[in-house]
Structure 1
Amino acid sequence: MMSNKLLALLSALITFTLVFGGYTFLFANNKSQKLVSPLPESGILIKKSTNLKSISEVQISIAVEDALIGTKGIYGVVIKDLKTGETFTQNENRIFEAASLYKLWIMAETVKRLEEESLKHEQVLSGDIKDLNERFDIATEAAELQEGTVSMTVKEALDEMISISHNYAALLLSAKIRLSNVSKFLKNEGFTASKLGEPPVTNALETAQFLEKIYQKNLVSQKASEQMMNLLKKQEKNNKIPKYLPENVTIAHKTGEIGAFSHDAGIVFLEDRDYLIVILSESNDPRGAEERIAKISKNLYSVFNSE
């Protein structure tokens, strides 16, 4: 009898162990699955290089997210280590009004025409301000100038359109080269999200790709790319990406501001590690967004300069 009871007890114990053990195994598996998180809702993505020493994901994430704490705005971000190819993105495909970033496209088509010699640097461009406002559908209340004429050479227009974001320099060049040709240029280069129109639009990804083509000297041509890079290095609107960086750091960039939109896009040149930084923003506090862009840039400089 004792042996039968003992056998029954052992059988019950084995059954309990198998059932409970199975439950524990399943529970443990489910728990571990919950710890494997998908991409964050912010859309952050890191693509890592295994060839060279990489900036860590945590460092870049903190550099960006620290500056965006508490924001109610929307930011499209692309950060790329131009030495390793490592890329950080956030909302990179989100469409924003381009603001003055469209002047990058005007610059490229103009430089292309100069290389083809259908334009000359010393060629004089002139226009009646009222006619330019009407031609490019600039509302009276939005127009910087209402009457008179504006005149400058192609070289002057290029310089001022980029360095101080001179709107009438851009209008003179646009009238000369025709916006339809700029649209063709964008299409031919594969920029399908960047479009002229009312208003011009783009995203952080294509803006970054545009600048990287210039950096790699393969937008239009090597010579044209070098000319465009030199123009971008003359930028005088330095209240965002360059704001907290040392004065001796070379930065080639272009800003854009209109209404709720504030952008800056450029390349920071360090001794051993250049990096690309593009930040587009839409916010009910564009001045605050400017400061956030400047802080992201400051944080990133600390990360890249420490390597």
Structure 2
Amino acid sequence: MEHREGRAGHPRPGAAHPRHQEGRARRAHVQRGGLVRGAGLPAGRGLRSHGGRGHVRGRLPRLSGRLAQGGRGGLAPRRRHGEHARLLLRRSLQPRPAAHPVPSRDRRPLSPLQAAHPLRGSVSEPAPSIARAEISLYASVLAIRERHGLERLGIAFWDSETTLQWAYNADEYFHAASTMKLAVLLGVYRQVGRGELTLDAPVHVRNKFRSVVNDQLYMLDFDRDADPDLYRNLGRTMTVQQLAYAMITTSSNFATNLLVDVLGVSTIQTALAELGIDGMKVVRGVEDQAAFEAGINNEVTAAGLLKLLRALAEGKAYGAEASAEMLKILHDQRFKGGIPAGLPQAARVAHKTGNIATVHHDAGIVYLEHRKPYALVILTQFHSETPRSTAVADVSRDIYECLAAMNP
């Protein structure tokens, strides 16, 4: 069932007001394990508690700052055609636009309690419902999309502390860019775990690769690689471990293609299938221009990347030891302009970015003191003439502030 926008009919004599009927239905839905079923999304999406603990019995404390006002600048949510929205029947609950929007530079700092205990709100604050938190977050996300002129935006997060999860266009496919390297890393540790590959195995370093289109040979441009120092090893060998580290931490396309050749695309696809990770399509290496022109691209969804991150966080990606080793590499990521830029300085993030001319993604696991981690995926697409913005960092900040306002 999809929630559609429209006017509610006048209640018949003796019937409950539509707003009351809606509230009863929503409470019943929470008890069934989900808050609202989003249009075009599988059952159970939206902000909800899960994992066998039942619905959230406590209430969320009052959302601080701009979140309580419906997003940065107090902009009211506006649905775009085709959006996977889940709040269209709650118009009376939508936060009103702020009379005097607070610029982001004037954002209030966290209270001393929140600073000492990140993601914990003040217990003295009044507690609105989870539905109100979802509305505020949804409004904030739409405001970010509008402000940065994003063509598309996909978000998925899961919090192991509260077992809450939330999604926005999480099943929509985006060009993967370098987030596909997470799947390659998974493939490496699959083969290592099976004894079919070792991390110290030598790999011949050569700049010659075959396109998936007619087996054409192509080469990578040294100047475009994020780690041009690797090209100094041409004609020599590097270990699988060295290549895997460079592929993630400096996002080297050269290291990625060498590992894709070692593994084979079918092995990477098998690794994803074995762990039940759908929503990720890896069909080739990177910088395969012939494949790009033929429309053959690696694609990901926010939901798919979130499944991969959860497998790592829960130690289920080919065992606890392999998961820990992969997370250690992800913690050394050198590009911090995405999810980490929206967090307190003390936060640690194991993540992988993805950037090309028209997309900017980040997918990672956020670690803060005094609580369990949460996983977050943010995918953005914009026009080629639009300069890269802070949209990913802004969404990261708003997710953090939403969770910071909740009492665990």
Residue 90 and residue 28 in structure 1: after superposition, are their counterparts in 2 closer, same or farther (change >3 A)?
Answer: farther
Q: Which has the higher helix share?
A: 1
Shift of 1:32: 3.1
What is the distance in 1 between the residues matched to 2:20 and 2:216?
Answer: 54
CA offsets 1:53-85 (integer angstroms, 9 cap, x no match): 656324433443342234342111112222222
Identity of aligned residues (%): 21
One of 262, 270, 295 as aligned partner of 2:394: 295
Is 2:56 the partner of 1:50?
yes
| Counterpart for residue 8 of structure 1 | none
Q: Is the 8 A contact 1:150 1:168 kept in 2?
A: no
What amino acid maps onto 2:333 in structure 1?
Answer: Q
Q: How many residues align?
A: 283
| Pair 150,175 (structure 1): closer, same or farther in 2 beyond 3 Å | farther
> Match for 2:204: what amino acid?
S
Identify if the C-alpha distance between structure 1 residues 306 and 287 changes in structure 2 by more than 3 Å, giving closer, same or farther: farther
Q: Which structure has the larger Rg?
A: 1
Separation in structure 2 between the aligned mates of residue 176 and residue 72 of structure 1, nearest angstrom: 37
Deviations 1:167-200 (A, max 9, x none): 1111111111111111122222223331122211
Q: CA offset at residue 26 of structure 1?
A: 3.2
Distance 1:239 1:286 in 2: 20
Deviation, structure 1 residue 120:
2.2
> How big is the shift at 1:150?
6.7
1:157 has 2:158 as partner: no
The runs of 5 or more residues in structure 1 that have no matched partner are: 1-23
What pairs up with 1:1-307 in 2 under 5 angstroms?
26=12, 32=18, 36=22, 45-48=46-49, 49-50=55-56, 56-70=133-147, 71-129=149-207, 131-132=208-209, 144=224, 149=235, 151-197=237-283, 198-271=296-369, 272-284=371-383, 290-307=389-406
8 A contact 2:177–2:298 mirrored in 1: yes
The unaligned stretches of length 5 or more in structure 2 are 1-9, 24-35, 50-54, 61-129, 284-295
- The alignment partner of 1:57 has SS state of helix
SS of 1:192 mapped into structure 2: coil
Q: 1:306 to 1:180 in 2, by over 3 A?
A: same
* C-alpha separation in 1, matches of 2:361 and 2:153: 9
Give the stretch that moved more between structures: 148-157 or 103-112: 148-157
Structure 2: distance between partners of 1:173 and 1:25: 64
Residue matched to 2:29: none
CA RMSD of aligned residues (A): 3.4
SS in 2 for 1:243: helix
Question: Deviation digits for residues 24-51 of structure 1, max 9, x if unmatched?
Answer: 8638969837995997779783224425
Compare 145-154 and 226-235 and name the one that shifted more. 145-154
Q: CA deviation at 1:207?
A: 0.6
- Report the Cα distance in structure 1 between the residues aligned to 2:216 and 2:332, rounded to whole angstroms: 29
Distance in structure 1 (CA, Å) of the matches to 2:373 and 2:139: 20
Pair 67,273 (structure 1): closer, same or farther in 2 beyond 3 Å: farther
Moved more, 224-233 or 294-303: 294-303
How far the C-alpha of 1:226 sits from its partner, in A, is 0.8
CA distance change for structure 1 residues 274 and 287 in 2, over 3 Å: closer, same or farther? farther
Could you tell me which amino acid in structure 2 is paired with residue 183 of structure 1? Q
Counterpart residue identity of residue 292, structure 1: A
- Name the SS for the 2:205 alignment partner: strand
Contact 2:155 2:168 in 1 (8 A): yes
Specify the code of the residue in structure 1 equivalent to 2:177: A
User: How has the CA–CA distance of structure 1 residues 191 and 137 changed in structure 2, closer, same or farther, with 3 Å as cutoff?
Assistant: farther
CA contact (8 A) 2:330 2:351 kept: yes
How does the TM-score come out when normalised to structure 2? Answer: 0.61
> How far apart in 1 are the matches of 2:313 and 2:366?
11
